[in-house]
Chains A and B, each alone.
Chain A
Amino acid sequence: MLFSKSFIKKTKKGSVIKIVKEHYLRDDIDCGIPSCSSCKTESQLTDGPYIIPDTNMLYHQIDLMEHQGMQNIIILQTVLQELKHKSLPIYQRIRNLIPKKQIYVFCNEHHRETFVKTEMGESPNDRNDRAIRRATEWYVAHCNKNNFILVTDDRDNRQKAIKQGLAAKSVREYVETLPFKDILDLVANHDEVLDAQNSFTYPEHLSQIQISAGLKSGAFHQGVLSISGHNFLEATTIIKHNNEEKTIHIVGREHLNRGIQGDVVAIQVLPESEWKSSISTIVEEEVAEDLNVDEKEKIDLVPTGKVVGIIKRNWRPYCGTIDVSSVQQTSTLSAVQSVFFWSMDKRIPKIRIKTRQAQDLVGKRIIVAIDSWEKNSRYPAGHFVRVLGEVGDKQTETEVLLLEHDVPFAPFSPLVLSFLPEEGENWIVQDKHLANRRDFRGWDICSIDPPGCTDIDDALHAKLLPNGNYQVGVHIADVSHFVKPENAMDLEAQRRGTTVYLVDKRIDMLPGLLGTNLCSLRSNVDRLAFSCIWEITPQAEILSCEYTKSVIRSKNSFTYDEAQARLDDPNMNDPVSLGIKALNTLAKQLRKKRMEAGALTLASPEVRFRMENDSQDPVDVEMKELKDTNALVEEFMLLANIYVAKKIYDTFPDSSLLRRHPKPPANNFEPLIKAVAPLGIEIDPSTSKTLSDSLDNAVLPSDAYFNKLIRIMTTRCMMQAVYFCSGTLSEPDFWHYGLASPIYTHFTSPIRRYSDLQVHRLLAACIGYEKDYSSDLVDKTKVKEMCDGKMIINLVLNYRHRMAQQAARSSVELYTHLFFKGKTLQEEAYVIRILKNGFVVLIPKYGVEGIIYSSPNPDEPAVLTLNAEENVLVNGNIRIGLFNKVKVQITVNEAGEAGQRSKLCLELIEPSIKGMVKPAESKPKAKKQKTKK
């Protein structure tokens, strides 16, 4: 039987179209019930009772659905389709669940007896509800048994169902009948749970139509909410105003209006009279009242705005712990309690959850998901998902930081591994691989990498030519030979985006067989490579460049130290050493040229940990040092990246995957410029050259570390470098500010970055190696989606890159805290930021930052007061300003008690101010302890 369904839709462009679909009805669709005699389909259902959930149940209660207690579920086609439209990620999760549980998907839309036609004036929701009821009715009649339960939280639907003679329950009612202890905790809340302080209301969010009208007229702006790490009641968002990117600040609970970190929101910029000062306050824990702005301080005003509506929520499950103070000691172990949950991510507000296991969960890391944030509730409501482990346990903490940074770390699936070469470890380069490749196996190629490196991406060589010029080659592991587009291994690598380097672990993008063996350019074994060969004059002028696939046989895999030794030893004159020396000379000249063009040398306070034997506990921390050989490798990698970028852009101007570094907005530098001015230092950020020169001149003869400190501060003013698709921007926007290069891409590390693999494929197509390449390579939209996705900010390169960096930093932080555990150390520190109620210091030796509060005891008056005009904190004659050197005492606050992660606790030792140091006997464990002075 044939039906046609039609409806009207408004397209994105604004035109209205009528969509007409043909719909077939059939009468041979089986019910899936095992005991049914007329239907032969085998399904995973066992004997009843069966539940038929409605869409909202699947949408809101996904964590509940994943529990093993939920079985014998009949999912209707209507429900599945509605769910797909509502939320694709949740739909995927349900789809993944189906084969693993006792679930049967019944195609009620195509079954003649259960198909329901929309009545005049009936809303789609009502029609779907009717379809669900009809299907339930049919099941009862078909199997002649009334053990089918319609589960829905919609009271109306339940009542109608009961009138029809069907069994209907709400989610909670059904779950209560199940014999599992913890399952009731997973039920998400949707009733309006009113806060104790009932009078609190947030302003109403505007509807989507009002928001889109406002965006069109320019009254509102769209931006992603970025909550400040210091103060969860302050946020910034970058909007596009008059084609310029501007940072808008949002201060206060009411203005934030239930926006959560990462949400796409509609902002209304406030009139100038309401703009706030740029000096912010640190707020780490809960404050009862909102912070009031000091009306007198109208200095350094920044554009301020407020959230008027939410365009897209970007909620995800959060790791964290239960707030101990909200747990009540009850005698009945299974009483439901409403407790608060603190996320590890300080930018997320407290979440209220209901659980029966409150006491068991104290002191453990758990995962919680947010359900909703009603306007009369101070905090969002959520539900418990699962437990990770004990707080402070290294494994648990590492898992927490991987989850928090959305790093996929599950082992590679058998499907992915099936795409590895069959020979496995015994794979060797054979004659058949030599087609279209040049044979460089006789050349004196070597690789230089950090000690203990197993995934060698790159190798170099330099040879003196008869005409006096040098032939320099950069050879990169030919990963694209092993990873073909669109197979499972490629898709998994694309999903991961990059290899993540934690202090003690490495989460690989590609299976180890490739990453550390077959692709890795190990010495004394034939390996496939993708080479860039230049002819360079001794004065580092580049005469020509060619690209080719090749086979190489690296002669040595050096560490930086070993290569440096070869470099420094005048007696080593074998071809490889001579090569390194030549490379070094050329590299120095190339670097000089880059500096003259305005490339920036920035700094980071990175340190490295030394582990004691294999105990996995850090013994000492050392700062990373840069040698000549580091710079050598870096120079040639940059050169390769730049040349490859030019080549692929030439051939694929629309769909090249490039990397750019936007120029930072001038106002980013203002605080820094102001801070160094009193020291007689000028910073000119107008171009990268002027900035570079300013940095070179920013020296204090009295303090050697000062220059590095300024460079670290400058690094923080920078924008993020991002991948982009060449077809989406015009050429001036390709500029890489930090490298002062008009065009750039990533080519040299395909083992650990997916973007490089994509560039390899593009380059292979450019040189004609790959005669038939996937049409995706030239599809501008595909490349753009690979960089930035479609409003769903996961599965994409820029996101993964950022997350990997943050995960690495968190891992370092974790180990730093482990290092400080049980120790009390006094070290030098520099003040890097002045805030209203304290200041932030950087401790160069360990590369860590910490906060020192103006009033170490929250109940006692502040010891330091802020002088806003001069941006210093004063106590009597002592002034603490930016870049002052101080001495601090470092201890660690154990995790768990204070609620979240372990915290570095700092006290000011020098300059010595009474009241800033707590007496020795009362070594603080929690911040709230009172001490007598």
Chain B
Amino acid sequence: MISKVEKDYISKGIAAGIRNDGRGPNESRQLELETGIINQASGSCRVSVRGGTEVLVGIKVSVGDIQELDTRDEEEEAMKNRADVGRIVCSVECSPSAKIVLDKRQIEEMCILYTQILNRTLNGPQGGLDLYKLCIIPGSVCWILNIDVLILNYGGSVFDAIFMAVRGAIHNTRLAKVKVESTDGAFDFEVEDDETEVLEGRENVPVAVTAFQIDKNHVIDAMPLEEQCSDSSVSVMVNKHGKLCGVQKGLKGSLETSLLINMIQHCQNKGQEVISAMDSFLAQEERRIIDLVEPVGFR
């Protein structure tokens, strides 16, 4: 909840290009990212933003039956008919210990919303991952990536952190090698003991950048108070190549077309920056894994 005075104060500040913590409207807060911290998961990542947002993502792979994708998109329709794709199942949950200003019902709705966005974005060519490669035995068995997001702390702009953590976790995920044998048309498979294979297309996974509109301006990486000042937001999912992978409008207000296009543009650019910073860091993480250095983790 926010008072009228505070709201006015923040709006005027942003109009003047100043935010409460001294950032510019396009600046994002410092964050920490670490991958490979959960032993039991096939891939994991934790993103911790200075302002308090903390998100933990764990990916467990399992083997299951090939099901048809539930989408309405044209291209995905085409994929629906092909019985040789794996799939991704996401779920977003908020930890009860997260410091959060919304009430329970709103939290639930928020989580459901984020789950849906993640599912839609990742389960298709726009998600970047090569789902065909996840198929083990065409027509019957495939890998299923279960992506579980846990919001540990809420400090504004959670969705951006979630997507970043998901991208980091995907980068970190390893699959076990599978050997398929066939006899007379019947197939069976064996798995290797260790998880060694990376997910194909992981570098094409997008990140999200959310811009919150406050009066005539918008801010990126909003803090909780700023979010409450805003009437509408736009989350833009953009990948390494600058392509738009998804756009989601949030909150209840309306947006002018020109402002909308502006926001999307800004987010796209910001997204590219984020990705390049992330990629250089993820390359470091790869080194760390090969060198068998333990992550700092939760210590």
B-binding residues in A (CB < 8 A): 4, 6-10, 14-18, 20, 118, 120-121, 124, 206-207, 209-214, 216-220
Contact = CB atoms under 8 A, between A and B. Distances in A.
B7 interface: no
Contact of B186 (A7, A207, A219): A219
A7 B174 CA distance: 12
A213 B187 contact: yes
B284 interface: no
Given A8-B193, A8-B195, A18-B40, A210 B181 contact: yes
B186 A209 contact: no
Nearest to B179: A209
A213 B181 contact: yes
Interface in B34-59: 39-42
11 contacts: A7-B194, A8-B191, A8-B192, A18-B61, A20-B39, A120-B196, A121-B194, A124-B193, A209-B190, A210-B183, A213-B187
Nearest to A210: B183
B176 A213 contact: no
B39 A16 contact: no
B188 A216 contact: yes
A108 to B, nearest CB: 20
Interface string B17-38: 0000000000000000000000
Interface of B is mostly: strand
A207 B181 contact: yes
B182 A8 contact: no
B240 interface: no
A18 B189 CA distance: 16
State the 6 A-B residue pairs at the shortest beta-carbon distance, nearest first: A217-B186, A213-B188, A209-B181, A214-B183, A219-B184, A8-B176
A213 B186 contact: yes
Contacts of A212: 188
Contacts of B63: 10, 14-16
A403 B179 CA distance: 43
B67 to A, nearest CB: 15
B39 A213 contact: no
Contacts of A118: 194
Nearest to B177: A8
A211 B184 CA distance: 11
B198 to A, nearest CB: 14
B62 to A, nearest CB: 6
Nearest to B193: A7
B195 A213 contact: no
A18 B181 contact: no
Contacts of A219: 183-186
Given A15-B64, A210-B183, A10 B40 contact: no
A590 to B, nearest CB: 54
A10 B190 contact: yes
Nearest to A15: B63
Which of A120, A209, A211 counts the most B-chain CB atoms under 10 A from its CB?
A209
Nearest to A19: B40
A17 B60 CA distance: 9
Contacts of B188: 209-210, 212-213, 216
Contacts of A4: 39
Given A16-B176, A18-B42, A217 B61 contact: no
B184 A217 contact: yes
B288 to A, nearest CB: 14
Given A6-B39, A209-B181, A209-B189, 14 more contacts: A8-B195, A9-B191, A16-B61, A16-B62, A16-B176, A16-B191, A18-B40, A18-B42, A20-B39, A120-B290, A207-B181, A213-B181, A213-B186, A220-B183
B185 A217 contact: yes
Interface of B: 39-42, 60-64, 141, 176, 179, 181-196, 290
A216 B42 contact: no
B181 A6 contact: no
B140 to A, nearest CB: 10
Contact of A10 (B186, B191, B196): B191
A721 to B, nearest CB: 36
A612 to B, nearest CB: 63
Contact of B194 (A8, A16, A207): A8
Which of A8, A121, A124, A220 counts the most B-chain CB atoms under 10 A from its CB?
A8
Nearest to A215: B186
Nearest to B290: A120
Contacts of B189: 10, 209
Contacts of A214: 183-184, 186
A904 to B, nearest CB: 47
Contacts of B184: 213-214, 217, 219
A14 B190 CA distance: 9
A217 B183 CA distance: 8
Nearest to A13: B63
Contacts of A9: 191, 193
Contacts of B40: 6, 18, 20
Contacts of B190: 10, 209
A118 B193 CA distance: 11
B132 to A, nearest CB: 19
Contacts of A207: 181
A600 to B, nearest CB: 43
A509 B182 CA distance: 49
Which of B40, B188, B190, B290 counts the most A-chain CB atoms under 10 A from its CB?
B188
Contacts of A220: 183
Contacts of B290: 120
Contacts of B186: 213-214, 216-219
A891 to B, nearest CB: 54
Contacts of B176: 8, 16
Which of B181, B182, B190 counts the most A-chain CB atoms under 10 A from its CB?
B181
Nearest to B184: A219
Contact of B195 (A18, A121, A210, A217): A18
Contacts of A211: 183
A319 B193 CA distance: 41
Contacts of B182: 210, 213
A432 B187 CA distance: 66
Contacts of A8: 176, 191-195
Nearest to A219: B184
A58 B287 CA distance: 41
B183 A213 contact: yes
A214 B185 CA distance: 8
Contact of A121 (B39, B183, B196): B196
B172 to A, nearest CB: 14
A9 B195 CA distance: 11
Nearest to B137: A213
A18 B183 contact: no
A20 B194 CA distance: 12
Contacts of A7: 193-194
A216 B39 CA distance: 34
B187 to A, nearest CB: 6
B293 to A, nearest CB: 13
A218 B186 CA distance: 9
Nearest to A11: B63
Contacts of A14: 63, 141
A283 to B, nearest CB: 33
A218 B141 CA distance: 19
Contacts of A120: 196, 290
A867 B151 CA distance: 87
Given A8-B192, A20-B40, A212-B188, A15 B62 contact: yes
A124 B193 CA distance: 9
Contacts of B179: 209
A18 B194 CA distance: 9
